[in-house]
Chains A and B, each alone.
Chain A
Amino acid sequence: MKLHTVRAVFRDSAAVGFGLVPLGLAFGVIITHAGLPWWCAPLFTGLVYAGSLEFLLVGLVVAVAPLATVALTALLVNVRHVFYALSFPLHRVRGRAARAYSTFSLTDEAYALTAGEQGRMWPGPRILLLQLFLQLYWVGGATVGALLGSVIPDSVKGLDFAMTALFAVLALEALRNWRADVPTPVLALLSALAARVLFPGALLPAAFAMFTVGLLLRRIRLEECEECAVDA
């Protein structure tokens, strides 16, 4: 691995990293404030490594929820990752261990960076190093946050908004890349709002399913229109 590659990966990951570190700090503080031991921070972030599930896991573990509930929650919250396999460039990552880590660390952020326009030419090692950087930001931030957590009083609230802000920024960036394509974010918003009303307990999987079906229907209609144009 050449030094300029490491520098380039640091540059690519910096914007998301600047989001992950304070978000990780907030997550660490939330762990300590929930009454869990500090080592839950490196444990959750190192092994589960799925931000929204980790936030939910704090509540589940504190309540000593049945493991079946934990499993179902993990399944429902992370089922969206199934769709990432459609476009994540895993074929550029070579070797068993490398592929194992690359799929393990295929987070929303890793997907957003590598499946986007800028990542189109990145070779496997560069993708892998980027994923490692992202996880180090997250694990480091959370561990420091958990160790500092006892210093921050319980009256400090609203830190968990860091996760919302991160997705707001990623959504704005993704919208910018597809500026001309208004129906896609509108379809996503409608799917999410419908899922929130119809399936409040399973918002994510319901919204992703509706959004995917909607996109497929739109694609079929576009193809039909192309055929009409050819026939005419």
Chain B
Amino acid sequence: MPSALYIFAAVAVSAAITWGLRALPFAALAPLRASRTVSYLSTRMPAGVMVILLVYCLRGTSLDRPAAAIAPVAALAATVVLHLWRRNALLSIMGGTCVSVVLASTLPFH
């Protein structure tokens, strides 16, 4: 069990680095804002960034262990289908998470 002091230190380190990464680039990148290349990047990036974060979330899912992949794959399918159907973020996230919890808690492979 970690001590409270260690927990505070880990949080302080994480917070300082995260804020630094978020704040410092504004000073470094300020002169680039007028550039056409930068505006091209900034309009194209959000969609790609979300796709990469999605793959990152699923990185533990492997086709080498198909039984353990059933819950996340089914839950992702449910999320996407729900979202294309109703386009309601709450419904898609809750629906997908429910499928994940039900399958991961009941299937014997988890």
Contacts and interface: CB of A to CB of B under 8 A. Distances in A.
Interface of A: 15-16, 18-19, 22-23, 26, 35-37, 40, 43-44, 47-50, 52-53, 57, 60-62, 64-65, 67, 70-71, 74-75, 78-87, 90-91, 100, 103-104, 106, 108, 111-112, 115-116, 155-159, 161-175, 177-178, 181, 184-185, 187-189, 191-193, 196, 200, 203-204, 207-208, 211-212, 215-216, 219
Given A61-B2, A157-B104, A165-B96, A177 B47 contact: yes
B46 A174 contact: yes
Of the four ranges (under 10, 10 to 19, 20 to 34, 35 or more), the interface on chain B belongs to: 35 or more
A71 B55 contact: no
B7 A74 contact: no
Given A53-B18, A174-B46, 4 more contacts: A43-B7, A158-B97, A165-B75, A184-B47
Contact of A26 (B26, B43, B51, B97): B97
Q: Is the interface of A mostly helix, strand, loop or mixed?
A: helix
Given A57-B14, A203-B56, A168 B80 contact: yes
Given A19-B90, A70-B10, A161-B72, A170 B50 contact: yes
Contacts of B12: 47
Given A86-B32, A165-B92, A166-B93, A81 B18 contact: yes
A67 B12 CA distance: 10
A113 B105 CA distance: 34
A104 B89 contact: no
B98 to A, nearest CB: 9
Interface string B77-110: 0011001100001101110110011111100001
A35 B10 contact: no
B67 interface: no
A65 to B, nearest CB: 8
B61 to A, nearest CB: 9
Contact of A157 (B49, B79, B101): B101
Interface in B23-82: 23, 25-26, 28-29, 32-33, 37-59, 71-72, 75-76, 79-80
16 contacts: A22-B93, A53-B18, A61-B10, A67-B9, A71-B13, A74-B14, A78-B17, A78-B21, A80-B49, A87-B43, A100-B23, A156-B101, A164-B57, A165-B96, A165-B100, A172-B80
Contacts of B38: 86-87
A215 B43 CA distance: 11
Contacts of A87: 38-39, 41-43, 45
